[in-house]
Amino acid sequence: MNILDTFKFILPETILLLFALGILIYSLFTKNGNFLGALALAAVVLASLCLPQARASHAGLFFNMLTDDAFSLFFKVVSLFVAGLIVLVSMGYKALSGEHAGEYYFLLLVAAIAMLLAVSSNNLLMIYIALEMLSLVSYILVGFFKKDNLSSEGALKYFLFGALSTGVMLYGISLIYGLFGTTDLTIISQTLIAGQVNILVASVLLLLILAGLCFKCGLVPFHMWVPDAYQGAPTAVTAFISVGPKAVGFAVLLRIFTKNFFPLYANWADIAMLISIFTMTIGNIIAISQTNIKRMMGYSSIAQAGYILIGVVVGTASGMQGVLYYILAYVLMNLGAFGCVVLVSNSVRSDAIEDYAGLYKKDPVSAFCLSVFLLSLAGIPPLAGFFAKFLIFAAAIESKFIFLAIVGAVNSVIAVYYYVKVIKYMYLHEPKSKDMEKTSAPLQIAVAITLVGVLVIGLFPHFFLSWIGSSQSFFSP
């Protein structure tokens, strides 16, 4: 295929880039944050409309650097959805208003480009570049409140952990290049299947890559940055880093580990299982004692990543299905929950769980929505989070990972305690102050979209399951 022809497959990325530059330039002339936000939203919507159709024969694009299979399309849709909702949430986030809106939306759109590239990369080098691009943007976004100590601390920790783990990952990639003579995943998997390399060496190198991806997904033992970065970052950014990089991390994890390195399954499944068990348990247990809701949500998102990893460990088609469905549900419920946190912080100006006391009186709609999202995260039927957990546990039981399923089940009971604790403050305690400010429309739209999403994909998952089924068509162990 002619290189120029392939450009139409990166039309969404191009649109986002043009709008990003446009916003940056236009912000020199206006301080109107909402207008810039609307521009960013338009960019995301336009990009989603231009997403290419998945082709059955996914020929390599740009010298096989990118691919356009159905799997990448699924994650492109998720990434753009995340980006769009984050723009809506940011437009309603009062603390962000002001002079730096242009830079903020520019960074968000660049992050969206990085996500789109990362999920469609078919080359280790390209994966590294896209992930690093996403990481660098995330570091800046977390430290966006320059004068806030917590924000700077979170950004620095995020950066140090990120630099270390992506360094390890790059080291692994360079050794893989030494072993295979290429970074092209397709060729690597062909070499592996042909059995031309030492399996043991290859699987050790794989672990180095796993380290980098564990950092992106916030998996134990690379989770230390999560609580500080989540707490310090502007809440809209917390919402973004809790879903965006995580979804991308899992997309890459699935692509590398279940598609291309499947011959080494036996060598990494046990380690991934240990990671999953520790991630769930540590995340849930530490979350119990948190008093700041963003920090609690940080630990909760660690635990959620642990559940998702169960599906990867299982490594079957139904495990994959569970992972994709879980990511979809997780994106909806976590973004919804953070949307409500932004709603509350706009008027309470605090993220302490105590300050949620009596929310049912001050703002019954937000209290109801947040309860739905938290119950969904806890896995209470008939919400999306329950069906996601159901699919993951089903995949584990089907493949006889009984112990993993039991650990997951016990963990979901522990998790109920801290999710319900927030609900308890909202509904059982009396409010300290009476006032509640009027909230902005974009934020309400974002919360409404996620609320409907959580209910619909929980009650009528059939349509989404068939979409996911077609997205994982490449998967054949």
Residue 274 CB, shortest distance to another protein, in Å, is 21
**In the complex, what is the shortest distance from the CB of residue 399 to another protein, in angstroms, rounded to a whole number?**
9
How far apart, in Å, are the Cα atoms of 54 and each of 23, 76, 258, 388, 468? Answer: 30, 11, 20, 25, 13
Q: Which letter, b or e, does each residue of 6-26 get, where b requires 16 or more Cβ atoms within 10 Å of its Cβ?
A: beebbebbebbbebbebbbee
Q: Which residues, 399 to 418, sit near another protein by CB under 8 A?
A: 402, 405-406, 409-410, 412-413, 416-417
Give the binding range for another protein (CB under 8 A) out of 73-81, 197-205, 297-305, 374-382: 374-382
Is 390 a binder of another protein (CB under 8 A)? Answer: yes
DSSP letter (8 states) at residue 219: -
Pick the closer one to another protein by CB: 18 or 428.
428
Asked whether position 334 contacts another protein by CB under 8 A, the answer is no
The b/e string for 265-290 (b: 16+ C-beta within 10 A; e otherwise) is: eebbbeebbebbbbbbbbbbebbeeb
Q: For residue 288, state whether it binds another protein (rule: CB under 8 A).
A: no
Min dist CB 273 to another protein, Å, is 17
**465 sits near another protein (criterion: CB under 8 A):** yes
Q: Total binding residues for another protein by CB under 8 A?
A: 29
Considering beta carbons, is residue 382 or 477 the nearer one to another protein? 382
Among residue numbers 424 through 453, which ones bind another protein (CB under 8 A)?
A: 424, 427-428
Residue 428: count of CB within 10 angstroms of its CB = 10
Question: Does residue 11 touch another protein according to CB under 8 A?
Answer: no
Nearest distance from C-beta of residue 356 to another protein, angstroms: 15
Task: Single out the residue of 218, 217, 446 nearest to residue 343, CA to CA.
Answer: 446
Side-chain-side CA neighbours of 135 within 13 Å: the count stands at 26
- Using the rule CB under 8 A, give the single segment among 145-153, 333-341, 343-351, 460-468 that binds another protein: 460-468
Q: Is 456 in the site for another protein (CB under 8 A)?
A: no
Question: Least distance (Å) from another protein to the CB of residue 187?
Answer: 35
Q: Is 455 among the residues that bind another protein (CB under 8 A)?
A: no
Per-position b or e across 380-419, b if 16+ CB within 10 A of its CB: beebbbbbbbebbbbbbeebebeebbebbeebbebbbebb
Q: What's the start-to-end Cα distance of the chain, in Å?
A: 29
Return residues touching another protein (CB under 8 A): 360, 375, 380-382, 386, 390, 393-394, 397-398, 402, 405-406, 409-410, 412-413, 416-417, 420, 424, 427-428, 461-462, 465-466, 469
